């Protein structure tokens, strides 16, 4: 029987930045686990193990998406600030429209 990783170990690994290739690979593994569960031919113990793995992978992907979203937001703000400071006209702040 394979040894399981502790949830803490999985979560600490999930906190590390993920590369795009890693994200794609992790997403494919998650999709594969979902297909196994949907087939319905696993025992209860196997289903629980696959479900736990899926939750861990899902958290890992979610963290990567949040990190990417933060980077995009930061780059957008920096680009807008650079345009405004260069005198090429004032670019609208996308966050100003969010509250309307």
What residues does each domain of the chain span?
Answer: 22-83
CATH topology (fold) of 22-83: Helix Hairpins (1.10.287)
Counting residues of the chain whose pLDDT is more than 90, the rounded percentage is 60
Task: Give the DSSP letter of residue 21.
Answer: H
Decide if pLDDT at 42 tops 80: yes
40 Ramachandran zone, left/alpha/beta (phi>0; psi -120 to 50)? left
Cα end-to-end distance, the chain, whole Å: 56
pTM: 0.61
Residue 57's pLDDT is 96
What's the pLDDT band for 89 if we cut at 50, 70, 90? low
Q: Which of 13-22, 32-41, 51-60, 74-83 has the lowest mean pLDDT?
A: 13-22
Decide if pLDDT at 5 tops 90: no
Distance of CA 7 to the CA centre of its chain: 17
- Contact between 84 and 90 under an 8 Å Cβ cutoff? The reply is yes
């Amino acid at each position: 029987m394979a040894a399981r990783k502790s949830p803490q170990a999985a979560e600490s690994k999930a906190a590390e930045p993920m590369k795009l290739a890693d994200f794609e690979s992790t997403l494919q593994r998650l999709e594969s686990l979902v297909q196994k569960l949907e087939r319905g031919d696993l025992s209860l113990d196997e289903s629980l193990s696959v479900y736990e793995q899926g939750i861990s992978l899902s958290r890992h992907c979610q963290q990567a998406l949040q990190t990417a979203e933060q980077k995009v937001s930061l780059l957008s703000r920096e680009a807008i600030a650079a345009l405004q400071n260069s005198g090429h006209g004032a670019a609208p702040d996308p966050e100003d429209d969010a509250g309307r």
